[in-house]
Homo-oligomer: A and B are copies of this chain.
Amino acid sequence: MSPQSKKATLSTEPYKGVRDFYPEDQALLKHFMEVSRKASESFGYEEYGASVLEPAKLYKAKGAENEELVGEQTYTFLDRGEREVTLRPEMTPTVARMVAGKKRELVFPLRWYSIPNVFRYERPQRGRLREHFQYNADIFGVETVDAEVELIALAYEIMRGFGATDDMFVIRLNSRKSLNALLAEYHLSPEKTKELMTLIDRKTKIKNFDEEALKIVGKPFVLSAHSDEEVEAVRARLGKLGITNTVYDPSLARGFDYYTGIVFELFDTDPENPRSLAGGGRYDNLTSLFSNERVPGVGFAMGDVTIGDFLGTHGLLPKTAAPAQLMLCTISPEAISFAEALAQELRHGGLRVLVNVTAKKVGDQIKFADKRGIPSIVAIGEEEMKTNMFTLKDLKSGQESKVSRALIAKHFT
């Protein structure tokens, strides 16, 4: 194949199922990260991170069933040292590994958050993404429901940070303890229990729940109608914080693993986007894979894709920010050099300044500023270089002001 024909075949598409983040996409991701980061840090949570690469063992440890899941649903491959490596499908095993690894040195309770990218091997035809970003917050070392209250309040603050109001989402709560106790009353085999739990988890998504449950249980199955005491205690405490969009949901299971106490989920109330926005709960045995010591934990996660959909549905997407507050237009190579020094001054004063370095006419430079949403320009020509007096133009209003070099920055505060 000649280099020429090879050139023609190289696609500009990203790898299947993952996204490119052009600046407008990256801005939304940054919004997701900044809002969740700010809320987390206001609660005293510290950010941690880890590599996307983890030993496959970390996910297989829980038994043969997990071995299968790791093989089928994750990116797992052998490195050249014959080590089996997995691209992390979630952050919880990683954080459990890290906490267990420095248990002696860490000061509990531990409040940690992270915003990792996580990978799932989804079959292409489903059209689902194989990589997304997932905010994770956890508190380790607290046995009481104070931990649940704090984490749900944090999730609520993040939603508030996105501009969401109480009518846009509901916080569903349930107790896995109660649910497990209820299931125990039916004396099912472990397989049947699992099957039923999966069905319960899907209750809101399917229409023939009773019928399907009957098939599994062999007699009518009824979820508890009256609320759990612990759930109500948490709801009452949240109520004191003005967080009243909560509901007891006996069908909330949040999957199989981990959870040993309260589970919760933030759910979009818009009928157009009936989806879980975030979810988590108490898992008291996570670090037990690494040591015999138990570290109680409560955590939740929130994905960038579902939150992006939520923001879109509710008109909460952030406005695209301009790449700069001011553009210096330049009419000659000398003007460029002059503008660079002026820009340097203004940048040190905290301004975001872009210097035109093209040989385009000033009119075309202004068109560029306009296209990119840059709100103000100053054109640098002979006169400006001589006098150090400038005309600052607001591109929206068309208004012009004469300003001295020292006073340009003042116009932006």
Stretch at the interface among A252-260, A286-294, A382-390: A286-294
- Return chain B residues, CB-CB under 8 Å to A124: 81
- Return chain B residues, CB-CB under 8 Å to A354: 43-44, 111
Interface residues as binary, A66-100 with B (CB distance below 8 Å gives 1, 0 otherwise): 00000000010111110101010000000001101
Stretch at the interface among A56-64, A265-273, A276-284, A398-406: A56-64
Q: A21-B49, A241-B340 are in contact. Are A290 and B7 (CB under 8 A)?
A: yes
A351 & B290 in contact (Cβ 8 Å cutoff): no
A43 & B340 in contact (Cβ 8 Å cutoff): no
- Return chain B residues, CB-CB under 8 Å to A292: 7
A20 at the interface (CB under 8 A from B): yes
A146 at the interface (CB under 8 A from B): yes
**Chain A residue total in the interface (Cβ 8 A):** 106
4 A-B pairs besides A11-B57, A12-B101 with CB distance below 8 A are A12-B97, A14-B97, A20-B51, A43-B343
User: Which A residues lie at the B interface, using CB under 8 A?
Assistant: 3, 6-7, 10-16, 18-23, 25-27, 29-30, 41-55, 57-58, 61, 63, 75, 77-81, 83, 85, 87, 97-98, 100-102, 107, 109, 111-112, 117, 119, 121, 124, 130-131, 141-142, 144, 146-147, 149-150, 153, 157, 237, 240-242, 288-292, 323-324, 327, 333, 336-337, 340-341, 343-344, 347, 350-355, 357-359, 368, 371-372, 374
